[in-house]
Amino acid sequence: VPLIGRNLEDVERCPQCGIAKPLLEYKSHFSGKQASGTVVKVWFSYRCSSCGDLVGALGLVHSSKLHNFDPFGSSSTTAIWTIPPCASIDDDIPETPRRYLLQALNSINSPDGAIMLAGSAIDAMLKIKGYSDGSVFSRINQAVSDNVLTKGMSEWAHAVRLESNKPRHADLDDPHATSEMAKQTVAFAQALGEFLFALPARIERGKAASDKAAQHVE
């Protein structure tokens, strides 16, 4: 989680240029609207020393601290959101869905587009796993009965309703997705990638490392 301060800390890669351990220097901040009750949204702008581009970070600040707010004070706050998003996509997720996922994350502020891209990522991941026929739901259900996915994943898939069809079908009554729907759908797509590719790869590496260690003991 990025930490707001004189620099934006704990960012693995600059979300603009991708450089590792970027130096993101504070430039300015301004308060937005009340997030809830006594908490106010504050946006911070940072400049990447490598590419010179903007990274925005959203923090939540108690309204009583807003007057004379010192972004470098001891009360450092974590960024609940950055623009572009700092989340990195696991390298173990295959190229095609990984690229869709990255684009989905980077277009989260265009919810219709983000949802379509997340849908493409989900579709690509299921195809790679051999589920290419039928609707996304029927393929997910098949993956559950094959023990490739858990029941929880299919329940989640239904909960996010995979709104990807919505903007494409241009439902006249309610054609657009909200950014909240987009975030939920992209989060599901990311979790699916973790579940189908990243976690199994990590488990294989862990097993291999343990086997090697065990051989040394013998």
List contacts with Zn ion (CB under 5 A). Answer: 14, 16-17, 48, 50-51
CA angle 25/89/94 to nearest 5° reads: 150
- For residues 51 and 187, which CB has a smaller minimum distance to Zn ion in the complex? 51
DSSP assignment of 111-131 equals HHHHHHHHHHHHHHHHHHTT-
Q: Alpha carbon 13 to chain centroid distance?
A: 14
- For residues 16 and 164, which CB has a smaller minimum distance to Zn ion in the complex? 16
* 197 within 8 A of 94, measured Cβ to Cβ: yes
- Nearest distance in Å: CB 44, Zn ion: 16
- Nearest distance in Å: CB 32, Zn ion: 24
Cα separation, 66 vs 62, in Å, equals: 7
Cis status, amide bond into 84, omega within 30 of 0? yes
- Nearest distance in Å: CB 82, Zn ion: 12
- Nearest distance in Å: CB 20, Zn ion: 10
- For residues 47 and 139, which CB has a smaller minimum distance to Zn ion in the complex? 47
Task: Work out whether the CA dihedral 144, 177, 56, 61 comes out positive or negative.
Answer: negative
- For residues 18 and 130, which CB has a smaller minimum distance to Zn ion in the complex? 18
- Nearest distance in Å: CB 161, Zn ion: 35
- For residues 16 and 106, which CB has a smaller minimum distance to Zn ion in the complex? 16
